[in-house]
A and B are shown apart, each in its own frame.
Chain A
Amino acid sequence: MSEPISPDFALAHSYGSIPFSQPLTAHASVLDCLAHQSRERGSAPFITALHGDQQTTTLTYGELDVASRRLAGFARSELGLGPGRVAALLPTNDLASVIAIFGLLRTGCALLLLNPRDPARRLCEQTAALGALAVCEPQRVEQSGPGPLDAATRRALGSSLCVLPDPWGLPEHSGAELESAGAAPIDRYAHALLFGTSGSTSASKLVAQSHYNAVVNAEGVGRHHGLAAGDRLLACLPIHHVNCLHLTIFGALAAGAHTFLAPAFDPFAYSRWVERFRPRLASVVPSLLEALLTTWRKPTLPANFEYFVSAAAPLSAHTAQGVLRQLGVRVLQGYGLTETVNFSTSLPRRLDDDVYRRLMLEAAIPSVGAPIYGNEVAVLLESGVRARLGQVGEICMRGHNLMMCYAGNAEATAEAFRGGWFHSQDLGFEVEDSGQSFFVVTGRSKNIAKVRGETVSLDEMDRVLRSIPQVEDAACAALPHRLLGDEIVAAVVFEGQAVDVLPQLRAAFAAAVLPRRIVSLRAIPRTATGKVLRPQLAQLLAQPSAAGPEET
């Protein structure tokens, strides 16, 4: 690391007595992992992507190595990408996007992963904040039909939008050629991946993860799940999410495993995918499990299927019970944030039946498990002292998988790492069972909602609503929803006649996370000092038939 680091940063990035400068992994980056796998098992399948109704295409480790080098050559020469530069990518769950991720990373640039379904304004804000040289769209050769970008978004992105060429039509570039052109070797601590996230403040933050962060997480999840060469994983979460990218792409890569990448969750096709691909484990979010419990009427899982990995939103004991009863398998709940490069904890995979029952099926809140390799987790009180077992405090992490910073936001970075811990702003406690320590997440001190596994800042939504001239006051609340996780309901106080506020919300948020209801109120419940009383607001909005609120 060339930049000076603060004592808080150094302590927060230590793992036991091992400083951040002393790597835990043999490989410096996922690109090194790819080079290794290409040498060791070049003809082995890495990703099988589903497209169309039943068609699949498989990319081997060797093919990804070649294709990503070709694309890197193009990106360097035609887009000017390289170390110190930023490129944005609009990936979808297909092979072209996987090749694009590796190809762009090979140039040494930092790669901003965008949600292609985000509104144009959000995409433009994120790319402008980082000064991205290009917004790249993979050429989806294996798919027909339109991509996820609408015409208005294409217009807004303008000349910065670049459709990447088919790598198989590009000239070959050897690793040595790229190196001589300045694209390698990669600095393991350089920013590799950038993700937008929702913080406790209104503004969305951009998390910068290094090459080393990614490879430590890949090593950690690989150890935790016992991933090995040839292991099969089923992935259907969006690839621009840390969950999909870090577990089912990078985690699989580090282990030499094979991932079946579905374009999106499909409750009717899921059973066919499982039957056809026969994965050992599958990555989901709780709402997908609920959907499967509803639609999978005669479930049969292959004998080698071991468990679902669930993260991104709280899993209920009811869902875990349903999965065991109907599908006959366990759910291993994991927990982490974009800032902790995906997984900080996960339930161990070889738990005794009694321990699983106590922690997952009979607990009021199922456990998120124990820390994975590379990071330490603690529950801290406001004073900074560690909480006693069972005592609720803030869940904090330190380790080699913690992000490098919030890009361009030194103040927020310093705040997040204060006292030598990353402060998650999630509340929870630690329990002991059969001599092992486990964590339970009880709630959030930050004002967010988890809709379909997507994190949404309610503060940001409030701010957008309050910026509308006809709106006197507004606040949003997250209400529990069986299938969505949370559903957002917006309460609005209008100045005079009610107006449609959806256009402004649509311009700022993806359609999937928009409020399900917009309720006109006479006043937002607030404290004497003006702070929104969120629990009271949620209670009020949970009763749509009550006399007070009216749906607009």
Chain B
Amino acid sequence: MRSVIELAQRHAPREGRAALVDPDLELQAAGLTSLELVGFILDLEQRFEITIGDALMQPETFRSVRTITRAVAGLLGASGQATALQAP
């Protein structure tokens, strides 16, 4: 989860970064607008070498660090869960 948090913080405005340690905080509340979110999605795909399919491309998937981590872990499968959930 920490690696997802770090990626989210990279795209958030300065004042919203610290609050993102709360995995249930809505990304919008941390100041991520739609364009920042799109940049975040691109980084997630690159960092975890995944493709987020059409079914997951929904606002609910990107609501918080926790929902994103769950989606990424699902895409990585059991063996990859550790990568998404642990620190890099």
Interface residues of A, Cβ cutoff 8 Å to B: 264-268, 287, 290-291, 294-298, 452, 482-484, 502, 511-512, 514
A268 to B42, CA, bound (A): 14
> Which residues of chain B from 48 to 83 have a CB within 8 Å of any chain A CB?
52-54, 57-59
- Pick from B36, B57, B59: contact of A297, CB under 8 Å: B57
For A514, what are the chain B residues with a Cβ–Cβ distance below 8 Å?
A: 13
Q: Is the CB of B34 within 8 A of A511?
A: no
A482 to B11, CA, bound (A): 13
18 other A-B residue contacts (CB within 8 Å) besides A266-B34, A268-B59, A291-B34: A264-B34, A267-B34, A267-B37, A268-B57, A287-B35, A294-B38, A294-B41, A296-B57, A297-B53, A297-B57, A482-B39, A483-B36, A483-B38, A483-B39, A502-B14, A502-B15, A511-B13, A514-B13
B23 contacts chain A at the CB level, 8 A cutoff: no
For B52, what are the chain A residues with a Cβ–Cβ distance below 8 Å?
A: 297
A92 to B52, CA, bound (A): 32
- Pick from A291, A298, A502: contact of B35, CB under 8 Å: A291
For B39, what are the chain A residues with a Cβ–Cβ distance below 8 Å?
A: 482-483
Q: Is the CB of A511 within 8 A of B31?
A: yes
A265 to B38, CA, bound (A): 12
Judged by DSSP, the binding face of A is: loop
- Pick from A266, A267, A297: contact of B54, CB under 8 Å: A297
For A290, what are the chain B residues with a Cβ–Cβ distance below 8 Å?
A: 38
For B14, what are the chain A residues with a Cβ–Cβ distance below 8 Å?
A: 502
Q: Is the CB of A298 within 8 A of B34?
A: no
Q: Is the CB of A484 within 8 A of B35?
A: yes
B47 to chain A, nearest CB (A): 15
Q: Is the CB of B35 within 8 A of A483?
A: yes
A511 to B31, CA, bound (A): 9
A376 to B68, CA, bound (A): 51
- Pick from B13, B15, B36, B38: contact of A295, CB under 8 Å: B38
For A452, what are the chain B residues with a Cβ–Cβ distance below 8 Å?
A: 35
Contact A291 to B15, CB < 8 A, known contacts A268-B57, A298-B54, A512-B33: no
For A298, what are the chain B residues with a Cβ–Cβ distance below 8 Å?
A: 54
A375 to B33, CA, bound (A): 37
- 13 inter-chain pairs at a CB distance below 8 angstroms, sorted by A residue, are A265-B34, A266-B59, A267-B37, A291-B35, A294-B38, A294-B42, A297-B52, A298-B54, A452-B35, A483-B35, A484-B35, A502-B15, A511-B31
A173 to chain B, nearest CB (A): 40
A263 to B83, CA, bound (A): 38
A255 to chain B, nearest CB (A): 29
Name which residue of chain A comes closest to B39, CB basis: A483
Most buried by A among B15, B31, B39, B58: B39
A514 to B13, CA, bound (A): 9
A512 to B14, CA, bound (A): 12
A265 to B52, CA, bound (A): 21
Q: Is the CB of A267 within 8 A of B38?
A: yes
B25 to chain A, nearest CB (A): 18
A296 to B35, CA, bound (A): 14
A466 to chain B, nearest CB (A): 21
For A484, what are the chain B residues with a Cβ–Cβ distance below 8 Å?
A: 35
B39 to chain A, nearest CB (A): 5
B56 to chain A, nearest CB (A): 9
For A268, what are the chain B residues with a Cβ–Cβ distance below 8 Å?
A: 57-59
Name which residue of chain B comes closest to A515, CB basis: B14
For B15, what are the chain A residues with a Cβ–Cβ distance below 8 Å?
A: 502
For B58, what are the chain A residues with a Cβ–Cβ distance below 8 Å?
A: 268
Type the 1/0 row for B4-45, where 1 means its CB is closer than 8 Å to any CB of A: 000000000111000000000000000101111111011000
A514 to B14, CA, bound (A): 10
B73 to chain A, nearest CB (A): 20
A266 to B35, CA, bound (A): 9
A502 to B13, CA, bound (A): 11
